[in-house]
Amino acid sequence: MSQPGREAEAAAQIERAIELGIRYFDTAAEYGPSEENLGKVLPPYRSRLFLATKTSARDRDGAWRDLEQSLKRLKTDRLDLWQLHHVSFQAELDQIFSAKGAIKAIEEAKEQKIIRFSGITGHHEPAIIVAGLERYPFDTTLISLNAAEKHHPRSFVTSALPVAKAKNIGVIAMKIPAYGKLFQNGVLDGMHQAMGYTLSLPGVHCCVIAAESVKQLEENFKVAQAFKPLNTTEMAALEKRTAAAWQENTFFRQWT
């Protein structure tokens, strides 16, 4: 989806996702050609889809430029969800909420009915996401939540997730298999455990998992179809398996 020169493979994945009944599509202005790839396939299905993208701009004008470009690439006149991308530092929050900050673009776009919902995303520092959720009534948050994340000394599972749940904010989970690292060295047995754990966390509503092929997409879809919430004993067993491997499976927490 986000790799240059793979338009045919991207189109095949998108089309297969629609065939399977997937209706939630997440992208971002920074994801290479991802928006353009989606824009080549999704328009005929637009009324049936939930389309989400993101801006990394922290100022109003920059965010508006991103939004206009995203709409053009996606070949749509509206978004279901527009998110502030990878918010990592207090200084970013201060800029976002300043007089000329990106929050102004969100409010203006919502008032003009260009966007339905607003969100904040991050995988670096949960305290910053919590501060954002406390500061503004976002509709959603997209945060890293996997079976190893709970062991991190500053965990999204134990800090950001409860705040979102208390505020009735939609939670979209990411980094579910830690880019496949959770399946290495016998930590977890497969996606059924990785996805099963994350979707069983109280307050999580859905998850986004990138696929490298149609085959992988289909495998993930089957896991999602078969999902049943894990009980506390099953959750604890998975947490025990990831306890010694949390550092290599939360490496993305360093990204800003």
CB 81 within 8 A of CB 114: no
Backbone angles phi, psi at 218, to 5 degrees: -65, -40
| Per-residue pLDDT tens digits for 237-246 | 999 999 999 9
For residue 210, the model assigns a pLDDT of 92
Cα Dmax for the chain: 51
Residues 79 and 70: beta-carbon distance below 8 Å? yes
- Residue 139: the pLDDT is 98
Task: Return the number of other C-beta atoms located less than 10 Å from residue 44's C-beta.
Answer: 8
Helix (H) or strand (E) holding 248: none
pLDDT given at position 185: 96
- Return d(Cα 151, Cα 115) in angstroms, integer: 36
Asked whether the beta carbons of 102 and 55 are under 8 A apart, the reply is yes
* pLDDT one digit per residue (tens) for the chain, 256 residues: 999 999 999 999 999 999 999 999 999 999 999 999 999 999 999 999 999 999 999 999 999 999 999 999 999 999 999 999 999 999 999 999 999 999 999 999 999 999 999 999 999 999 999 999 999 999 999 999 999 999 999 999 999 999 999 999 999 999 999 999 999 999 999 999 999 999 999 999 999 999 999 999 999 999 999 999 999 999 999 999 999 999 999 999 999 9
